[in-house]
Amino acid sequence: MYELLLFTGGVYKFNEFKEFIEDIGGLIIEMESFKISRGIYFLSEEINVLILAPVGEKEEIEFFAKNIKGSIEQVKMEEKESEKVIIIFEIYKKLKINKLSSIDEIVANLIDNNEFIKIKNRKNEITINKEEFLEKITNLLILMEEMEIIKRIEKEKTSYFKIKK
């Protein structure tokens, strides 16, 4: 299982933090940067980063964040939003293993993945309408493209996706 966390802090050593998150099996979902100033004087640059991290890693992440003068807090989400985040992460994991995958391959992987089904259907109601699911995945792939997590490649009238580096 995974949990959603929010990192708030400066840009100091942020690249090390980003590497750390990837090393523990997490994913940086969104990053927002803003500058703090007083009048015409620039004081600092701060960032808010939305992170999807494995459950049980929060203490380690908090410790690392504290060392780079940042903080971590848990983000509460509605079930629908939580489902989107889980699906995005499952797509990301699939693309990390298979460098280039079509929508059909991604959907088949998610439907065949028993662990994913357990996470998605907490009430053990396994009812997947493939057409609705395909539409949901397509919309999430578009969102992941907009977030610059993945890149679309067109080959022989088929869309393939890969992780953007």
CATH number where 88 lies: 1.10.10.10
In this structure, what token pair is assigned to residue 111?
Answer: 């439907």
2-47, pLDDT tens digit by residue? 788 999 988 888 889 989 998 998 888 877 877 777 777 777 778 8
Nearest to 26 by CA among 59, 10, 2: 2
132-160, pLDDT tens digit by residue? 888 888 998 988 888 788 899 999 889 99
Provide the pLDDT for residue 124: 44
**CB-CB contact of 138 with 103 (8 Å):** yes
- 47: CATH: 3.30.70.260
What average pLDDT score do residues 52-69 get?
Answer: 90
Cα-flanking dihedrals φ and ψ of residue 78, to 5°?
Answer: -75, 160
50 and 86 in a single domain? The answer is no
Q: What's this model's pTM, rounded to 2 decimal places?
A: 0.61
**Position with higher pLDDT, 82 vs 68:** 68
DSSP helix/strand/coil, 54: strand
154 and 137 in a single domain? The answer is yes
